[in-house]
Amino acid sequence: MAAATFAAVFAALYVAHSVGDHWVQTSRQSADKGNPGWTGRLADTRHIATLTVTKLALLLPVALLLGLDLSVLGLLVGLGVDAVTHWWADRRGTLARLAKVLGQSEFYALGTGAHPVHPVTAEGKPAGHLGTGAYALDQSFHHLWLLIAALLIATV
């Protein structure tokens, strides 16, 4: 039963993460959350608050409809760990430093003018592209912590 609970919780959190990170987050939160000082910290905190509410709003009906036996403590610990790690990564400089420590700086810069082979148009101007290395590393970091959060929620 724990495996089925984990799978259902992870699926709900994964979908809720995508909705909360892309549809619920405001443009202002996205633009400001990486800024230094209190402007960035508060924007990031507002983003994490709405993201966590989105995750809870999608997870609770799933748990109710599927009859999942989740504890309040498990929800608090799992969503808390997810919120803290998401806030940390979304300060941007923190994730960039982690990428540097792990030897991923070039991939982090992929899709930006900072990358040594960034795409350009025939006129030499930056070319449009789908995403960046920074975005891919950001999302994969969040997915790792969603997995951990789902394990905590399903087992605590």
Domain-wise residue ranges, the chain:
2-93+134-155
For the stretch 49-82, pLDDT in tens is 999 999 999 999 999 999 999 999 999 999 999 9
Contact 5, 154 (CB under 8 A): yes
Q: Give the burial class of 138: count Cβ atoms within 10 A of its Cβ; 0-12 exposed, 13-18 middle, 19 or more buried.
A: buried
DSSP single-letter state for residue 120: B
> Cα(44)–Cα(34) distance, rounded to whole angstroms?
7
Q: Where in 29-105 does DSSP place strands (E)?
A: none
CB 54 within 8 A of CB 20: yes
Mean pLDDT value of segment 119-135: 75
Q: 54 with 88: CB under 8 angstroms?
A: no
The answer to whether residue 86 scores a pLDDT higher than 70 is yes
Q: Round to the nearest angstrom and report the end-to-end CA distance of the chain.
A: 14
Q: How confident is the model at residue 148 (pLDDT cuts 50, 70, 90)?
A: very high
The whole-angstrom separation of Cα 54 and Cα 56 is 5
Cβ-Cβ contacts under 8 Å for 45 (sequence gap 6 or more): 87
pTM of the predicted model as reported, rounded to 2 decimal places:
0.88
* Residue owning tokens 């402007």: 39
